[in-house]
Structures are given as structure tokens and as C-alpha cells.
Chain A
């Protein structure tokens, strides 16, 4: 939610300066080099304590034409407003989205709803590569059902430009005419400032912190999309750029900076998204991550209904649960379905935090009434299927 600098000053007593860019962190002198972008002037600001929350920036592929007018990355409120303004003002008819992740999916929905002709180019066999391919294929189908032209296993080669305006997107297989191009190729931590200052970086060049959000430099803290998290299932550091994590890490850093004591133990990789009427959710590890850890696992996948099957507006939901073969411990879950599907992922996310195995999950006392589920929720059914797979001879 947007809160203006005036509100921060009046309500919270915080001096927030917009359009001020920090260009250097001087740890020896304990001061920042700050550029006022409106006035174009640079000055120094002293600090006793420093908190780095520089976020993430979109991957911008180094291909011909990718800097042309009409090509947009989406990573901030401002970049979203800019794309909306361009659509209102220039009325583009044909959009090409590069990348079928969260940004690609949500932009596809927004552009389809605004009546544009939308094509989406995805390098992998299915969109949403944070899901297993069998679940990702359901999302691919959903995209096509709402009218998105989907081009899978195609690599983005260049943007054709005329008079500094986008004309088309070129892949290894075709040329797609385009008035507007959206880059949804993911983000990377924005950590050049920190790196230059000698602050330790970790996985994918995200800033390393301890569980109180302290960096390796005394008095310097970090949180949000620029910082690492600890993955509670894989027990390894990860970089996941999501607002859910940013808010929690920021809260913990702030409590500690204010003299309190708080910790952020880690994440399980929970995320939801949607494309029109189809909801998508995931948590924990997916099959390829489990295989990378060298663990043996089983999958339980079911197709169920979001409400009791006889109840009005009951719709399809597919739930997949992954469990460790040796111990039965839940490792991850994915859900694709209609309204009411996605938030069921929070049961799995909580179970991952608790370290539950499939038996503990089967006996979970989840709510039931016909408007909400069958007596066995689809969550239960998927876990029962995983349990059955565990009991089969390996």
C-alpha cells in the first residue's frame, strides 16, 4: 500500500526522502553518498546504524532491441503504473510477454482483461517452473483457455525495432508482431552498492544475514528482496523475492534496530498466483529440488472438488503432495484449481513449518461443511494418495 512521505513524517516521525538515490555506502566514515534526483545534486549523510533494503531488479536479457521504447520490465509500483499509462495512452493491440512466471501470468491476465491480443513466450516445456511440469501443464492449459497464445520451448532472441519503437519479438522459431513487450524473466537481488562496500553476499548475490537480519558488518542490517533467506525444508540458504518475506524480514530487522529482540527463522517457499478463474499455489520443494538434494520421494496427486461435489459452484482442484520416502515427512505441495483452491496451500505451508509427516497430516482436524469441501478435504486426499505410494513396494 502506498503511504506518502508526509504520512510517514506526521504519523510515524520518519523522514522518508523519495527520488533520493544512494550512490555509495562509505563504511569507514559511516556515511552515505546521496543523489537528489530532482535537483541533480549529491551530498553526504552520516549514520550510526544502516539498513539495506534495496530490493531486486528484473533480469534484462542482453539481446538486440531489449532497451527499445515499448519494452518493459515489471518490478515496482512505478513500473506497473508506467505500463498502465502506456496502455491507456497508446492503446497497443498486440502484447508479447517473455517468461511464464508470476509476473508473466499476472500480466497475461491484466492484458487479456484489457482486450489485448496476448502472446507468451516460455523457454521451458511448461509455464510456472516453480511447479512440477505435470502441474505447470495445467497452468499452460488455463492460459490458453483464457485466450493467451502460448509458445513453449522457444527462446527469446531479439526485439525488432523501427524508429526506436518495438515492432516484433523474434524467437528461435518465429516472429511475433508486438506493440508492447513485457519482460517477466525473474529478478535478481539489487546488491551492487552492498557488494562495493564489502558487505558479504551469498546465494545469487543476495546479502547474507543471520536470523536477526544482521550482515557481516556490525551496525549494518539487511532485509527484503536484496537479502537471503534460510529454507526450512532444504536447510539451505535461498533467495526468494516476495513481498511476504520482505515484510517479515523488515519487521524483524526493525524490532532489533529499535533495541528489541526478534528472529526470522526462515521460509518454506510459499506462493500463490492466478490467471483469470484459475488459481495456482505452491509451497516447499518441487521434484527437481528434492532430486538435487539427493532425497528419495513419493508424489500423491489427486483431482478433487473445491466444495462438496453436489454443492452449487463446486469446481475442479488438483492437489499434489510430495513426501520423503524414508520418513514420510512432507516436502512440498502444489495446487491448481478454480476459486477456493489456492489458499489451501497454507495448510501445507504450516505443516512444513511444523515438520509433519503424512500420518500427522491425514489426521489434521480440518474444517468441513458442503460449501467448503467434502468430508475429506482435497488436502487430505492428496496426502492419503502420497501415503498409499509410500506403502507400495519401492
Chain B
């Protein structure tokens, strides 16, 4: 079985998390990992 494509995102604030959610919605097969150096992540749907 082919391994899923892996998307790494650096930064878990407005831009990073908006991208993560949109990418996952379009392609649920995408394996998404986000690295945030701070203690919070955020998102505005």
C-alpha cells in the first residue's frame, strides 16, 4: 500500500491552521502535521 502524502506546516496560527483545515477537507488522505513553538493553536472557520 502506498504511504499517504505528508504535509508539514510550520506555525499553528491563522495562516497555518486555515491551510491545514482546507487541505484536509479537500484531500482527507493527506497526512498533516503542524509544528507550533508556542503553547496555543488557533483557527477561524
Contacts and interface: CB of A to CB of B under 8 A. Distances in A.
B10 A260 contact: no
Contacts of A45: 8, 33, 35
Interface string A227-254: 1000000000000000100110111011
Contacts of B15: 53, 55, 223-227, 246-247, 249-250, 253
B38 A18 contact: yes
Interface in A314-355: none
B41 A251 contact: no
A367 B20 CA distance: 39
Contact of A78 (B16, B18, B38): B38
Interface residues of A, number: 55
A143 B25 CA distance: 45
Nearest to A224: B15
A289 interface: no
A2 B10 contact: no
B12 to A, nearest CB: 5
Contact of A243 (B14, B20, B34): B14
Nearest to B15: A224
B30 A258 contact: yes
Contacts of A4: 41
18 contacts: A16-B17, A18-B39, A20-B35, A45-B33, A53-B9, A53-B13, A76-B38, A78-B39, A193-B10, A224-B11, A224-B14, A224-B15, A253-B22, A253-B23, A255-B23, A258-B25, A258-B26, A259-B27
Interface of A: 1-5, 8, 12-22, 25, 32, 34, 37, 45-55, 76-78, 193, 221, 223-227, 243, 246-247, 249-251, 253-255, 257-260
Interface of B: 5-28, 30-44
